[in-house]
Structure 1
Amino acid sequence: MNKLYTLIMAGGSGTRFWPRSKTIRPKQYLNIFGDDSLLQDTIGRFATFTEKENIYIVSSATQAEVLEKQASMLPKENLIYEPVGRNTLPCIGLAAMYAEKDNPEGIMVVSPSDHLIQNNELFKDTVLAAVKIADERDGIVTIGITPAYPATGYGYVQTAEDITGEETIRQFKVVRFVEKPNEEVASGYLKQGGFFWNSGLFVFKVSVFLDAVEKFAPALYADLRKIQADLGKPEYPQTLDTIYRAVQSISVDYGIMEHAQNIYLVEGNFDWNDLGSWESVYLTDKKDENGNAGAGEALLLDTKNSYVYSDEGLIAVVGLEDVIVVKDGNTTLVCRRDKAEDVKKIVEQLKATGKDEFL
């Protein structure tokens, strides 16, 4: 399907994955499972049903070297660099301008670069079901994950009318997007039913999406049009730098999805994990007989239910349970598993104290 485009968003900093995740090589460029990085896995997943010439990646200019190395299978002009991060709506809008110039009738799939997705055939079928809705109903489609527990780390999508019909994958009209809830509220969502985790995967006609940007974020739309006008011209880098730095930082959920009426959801039943922290990696990884996981050289004595990673050299852990130990270069993390979310605070403190050599 030549009119199908994919945007992979790869500009995140992955602070919860310090110390492996660094400024020039954030989480999406790490080979957490297997030999390929999360980004390379994502490219490969979409390349099975999208022409490589139609796969775009938006990332930070500071990550250009590692991105060009890991995405060498894609045309270099498809690697789009933001001068600064401005959240997901400007990022998606910028890529949509590229796709529109190539094919105004294009349909775009938007995906994070750092999620673990398995059952690739089911994933493909689910995405193509969303493409069909976007094409036939002029809808903006999200892929929702059936919640397994009352998670507080995800946004939720509430659905209403079931429009599945004779399709094999369930499909719904969307009532609303809701912010990350507390546990009590999340439990209520699960009891009520009709709520899905927001996966961050979206599908839409480029024209339909840009119409929504024009309606709900007119200032951003005008700026994106100015940037698009200089695409392919010598002045483009300066135009992008000047205008993009001044645009509002806003998420696509808040800027578009919470306001538009033509929103649909396709149920995603493939194995999905957003790998939000080292705890997520531990829970996903294979365990030994003592409940331990990890990679690299490690000697674990009387140690249980822990994750231990070493990039080189040996790590020895004695008499501990439920800990995370990660060594990368000149930095080492040791924390309780239930404190894995707080790793980002280490990065914040290192920045605040000017210790950039550890970032």
Structure 2
Amino acid sequence: MKTMRLWFGCVTGLAISMIFGWSYGFFVALLPIIIMTNADHWHWNGYYQLVIGIIWTTVEVSFINGFFQSSPLLLTIVVGIFFLEKCIAMSHKNSYLFGFVGLLVGSIALNFASYSSFDLEDFSITLWCSAIVTIPICALAYLLFPEPIAETAVDTTHDAQRYDHIGMIRQTALGWIIAMLAFLVFQVGDLNDSLSAQASIIIVLAPMTLIGSLAAAKIRIIGTFLGCLAGLIIQVGLYTWSDNGILFIMAYAIAAGIFCSWLALGTIKSSIAFSAMSALTVPLTTSLVPDQKDAVFAILYRFSSIFVAVVLTSMTIWVIHHFLVRVIKSPSEHFNHG
């Protein structure tokens, strides 16, 4: 039943985004997956964190962009405080989703808000709508495809939480430094078409540990390749029929069904499948314009940019992790070295 819930959530989300013509409609196809992957039963906590996290983050970004965009120094300082707030939230299990959503959405919005072609208001409203619509989509999915065997819901998200104070400080510092470096790189470079690469940096960073991030990097590359391949197959298979909404939804549903069956396993395949779903969904909803523009180049560019971003991020995380281990030591480590 979990496979059916996930499949229903992403396909329904895509259909809604197509009906309303949302510019960033891929969010409404992916947000239900984020919520339902680690929960076999309905829980309000995840939805609270998702909706409040998105609304609060977009309001913060609008405030920062409106008041500090003209002063690069002040902007950098305020963004640093913003990212620190999100990283601290991620270091606690009960607020992890709030922090992760804020860091992901905030880093994208803050960087792209500096480009005149980016409509922050449209981005924010679409995100609000996607987050709010996610609630009835998930509720309906749980109603139509309930878990047949009553089980105690176990939140397996990020079980490797930080148990020691020093470890939490290190991981918060690691997340903050990587987020700030990504922000500065995207501000200095003209990278307004690399949204997927920036999102990948935050996703690789999400475990907030060296081992977890390196594993996430491998998973991200494999999943992106599979998702891009599926997207190319859909694009080539439909060819001139890509303007047929029913055929497009059917083709997407078939590919999504395969990846959702992996998502339901709760293993490494689940993480690969999520990356595949994002790689499948984003280009087909943002770059494909029937009878005008195909998504082949966007799909190929997506894989290459994500590959480069993930490799560079992994190397940076490795360097910063070892630097933090040397700089921030627990009392026992000081004693052992003494």
Instruction: Give your verdict on TM over 0.5.
Output: no
The alignment's TM-score, normalised by the length of structure 2, stands at: 0.30
TM-score in terms of structure 1 length: 0.28
Structure in which a larger fraction of residues adopt helix: 2
More strand by share: 1
